[in-house]
Amino acid sequence: MALHLAATATYAYKPLAARRIRLLKLPKNVDSQREEAPTLVDVSLDTPPAYETVSYVWGEQIKSCLFNFSFGTSVAVTPTLRTTIERLRPHCQTCYLWVDQLCIDQASIPDRNQQVALMGEIYSKCQRVMIWLGQDVHDSGYLAYYFNDELPPELQRKTDHTRVSSSRLEQPDAQSFVRFLLALTWFTRAWVVQEAVLPPKASCFLGPFTFSIEDLWAVVVHHRAAERYFVQTEYSSIRQHPGYFVLNEIMRLRQQERYRSKRTHNPAICFYHSLSIFAPRCMTTSRHDIIYSFLGLQRDPHVRIVPDYDLDWSVVPVIATSAICEATESLNLFGMLHRQAGDESRWPSLPSWVPDWSRRLEAEPMVFPRSWIYFNSASGMAHKARKSSGLPASHLVVQGKIISEVAHTFPFSRVSGEPLANRHGWDVCSYLDIQRLHHLLRKTWLNDTTVPPIVRLLRVILADGSFTLNQKLREHCSEGLLDPDVDELAATYWFLDSLAKQEDTETTDRPKMDDVMGKRATRLRDHARVAWGRQLIVSRDWRLGLAHITAHEGDVICIVHGSKVPLVLRRLQSGRYRLIGQCYFESAMRGEEVTGGEDDADEFILE
């Protein structure tokens, strides 16, 4: 049936000139008894008419329906698109729509390459995006309450919850409703991210209901805020829902788009940070689109990642990573390298220096994209892309110096409750187990009197405060942890440790967790997330460091141009190197190990 329809489709796409796009022009007499068919028009993206875009889920890939244009021509489309157009057409305010399935010649790879490269601009320049969330409605009562004409008073005033008001939202029907919203298929599709982030206005359509994406977020936040008063012991926070994660990041990026600061905004870093968040959680039909679907978020004019669906999909992440490194003269995206081993990869074999964007992060970046930490191990020397003859694209040439070698490794304890999933509740004491580490250091150290004190050990474990999700703390820690900070964090650790050891006892002298200590505990857990997926290392010259869990004895610690932190490399029999990852290393984070200029550096080939 679908093949028959495709054969009977009569519309012939014509190639577009540079920076030209197609728009679906709708006749204005949509209320007449005989509705006229729309037409596709060719316009300049530099001077387009006012138009709107459509964001929807393709659904089944079989094009079993015909979409009719004027003059009796037609194209084969998916059933979902036909339903989407029927629902959204009466709400079009400009008479022009951009719809990917119609406005791109899907049968032409050159046309797809050309138009996908422009999609960031297409969505940025539209009047608004109309988001079709689907026809199925879980609970029309809740939808009518929240999205009838305007938000209810408690959401407009952002009223603080009480135990009484929260109890209503803890009921099964309320929980089922908010989870229904977050489980909508739209949140699983990779392309919807840039489609929702870039337009100035985003309207959502769900069954017969229409509401802004801001109102949708307000409802989710309203339910999230009530969770602090919930009494269910087995309750799973909506923060853990994949749909929440995607919507939260979409709203953050929408705000960033509206209020971008040229002084502080780094578009390249924001792009690969967003790619690292969304790519593992969103689905694509083509593996190329694990990266191509997010190119609209890439705003650095120096970074050139050109869509090419003729390429083998396995080389796309290599080309993208190389392009970012070369254009930014930075290797800091190596912080995105370490991925969850249990996640299924869509790229089973990648060079050691290329992040597998299709899997979730295992370890937080040592240089957090939105941090202002002082790290400057290479003294500002930039990465300069070099092409060596005969080397394949899977190899990266970097410059730097070996400064030490890993002599001992001390993994942290493995416990349940990953900090990447729960920043507030994970058991930081059981994971770090500082007493055990200090005992092992005593056994390893040559001279017992010079064993590092625990405050020094804690500073290394926390990478001098490099990671935190708290904006004020990022500013406070820009020059690292002050001595009073380390003392307070150490005291907090011992308090939490004693609390855990006494929680099963009957003693009345058990320490109590007040609000002040609760905030300190949250800060400790926040900073300590940088240790997840990493281990303590000791070098040949008895310096402490924090490196990835896969580092082992004999790996070399290097200062590499373009990286704000040292890197751990592994020598291969070929004379080349495998990148193990970023490293915090004592007396090497401020450029102390840089003694020569760029011409004095050695060359390392990463594979």
**pLDDT value for 122:** 98
Q: Report the mean per-residue pLDDT for the chain.
A: 88
**Higher confidence at residue 369 or residue 26?**
26
User: 3-state DSSP call for residue 593?
Assistant: coil
**pLDDT value for 164:** 63
**CA nearest to 200, candidates 300, 293, 129, 294:** 129
Residues 253 and 307 in one domain: no
* Domain endpoint, select from 127, 159, 174: 127
Distance of alpha carbon 442 from alpha carbon 294, whole angstroms: 49
Q: Confirm whether 508 is domain-assigned.
A: yes
Residues 527 and 556 in one domain: no
Q: Confirm whether 203 is domain-assigned.
A: no
Share of the chain above pLDDT 70, in %: 88
Residues 272 and 381 in one domain: yes
**pLDDT value for 202:** 98
Residues 313 and 400 in one domain: yes
Residues 527 and 559 in one domain: no
Residues 305 and 379 in one domain: yes
**pLDDT value for 417:** 46
Share of the chain above pLDDT 90, in %: 64
pLDDT digits (tens, 9 = 90+) for 129-152: 999 999 988 777 899 989 987 888
- Residue span of the structural domain in which 230 resides: 137-190+212-259
pLDDT digits (tens, 9 = 90+) for 320-372: 999 999 999 999 999 999 888 888 888 878 999 999 999 988 888 988 655 67
Distance of alpha carbon 186 from alpha carbon 168, whole angstroms: 28
Residue 505's pLDDT band (cuts 50, 70, 90): low
463-487 average pLDDT score: 90
63-82 average pLDDT score: 92
Q: Confirm whether 591 is domain-assigned.
A: yes
State the DSSP string of 88-104.
HGGG-SSSEEE-HHHHS
Residues 232 and 303 in one domain: no
Residues 47 and 18 in one domain: yes
Q: Confirm whether 557 is domain-assigned.
A: yes
Q: Confirm whether 196 is domain-assigned.
A: no
Question: How do beta strands 202-206 and 129-134 pair?
Answer: parallel
Output the six-digit token pair for 349: 């074999």
Distance of alpha carbon 392 from alpha carbon 10, whole angstroms: 45
pLDDT digits (tens, 9 = 90+) for 101-133: 999 999 999 999 999 999 999 999 999 999 999
**Higher confidence at residue 509 or residue 432?**
432
Q: Confirm whether 165 is domain-assigned.
A: yes
pLDDT digits (tens, 9 = 90+) for 409-464: 999 986 544 544 455 567 899 999 999 999 999 999 977 678 999 999 999 999 99
Is residue 1 predicted with pLDDT exceeding 50? no
**CA nearest to 384, candidates 605, 596, 603, 562:** 562
Residues 321 and 346 in one domain: yes
pTM of the model: 0.89
Structural domain count, the chain:
4
Distance of alpha carbon 349 from alpha carbon 351, whole angstroms: 7
**pLDDT value for 33:** 54
DSSP bridge partners of 356: none
Q: What DSSP element (H or E) covers 176?
A: helix 172-182
Residues 218 and 321 in one domain: no
Q: Going edge to edge, which strands form the sheet with 96-98?
A: 39-44, 20-25, 96-98, 52-55, 129-134, 202-206, 209-212
**pLDDT value for 56:** 97
**CA nearest to 6, candidates 128, 93, 106, 126:** 106
**CA nearest to 318, candidates 372, 423, 391, 384:** 391
Distance of alpha carbon 362 from alpha carbon 239, whole angstroms: 18
**pLDDT value for 436:** 94
Is residue 504 predicted with pLDDT exceeding 70? no
Residues 71 and 165 in one domain: no
pLDDT digits (tens, 9 = 90+) for 156-203: 776 666 666 777 777 878 888 999 999 999 999 999 999 999 999 999
Residues 115 and 186 in one domain: no
Is residue 32 predicted with pLDDT exceeding 70? no
Residue 237's pLDDT band (cuts 50, 70, 90): confident
Distance of CA 436 to the CA centre of its chain: 34
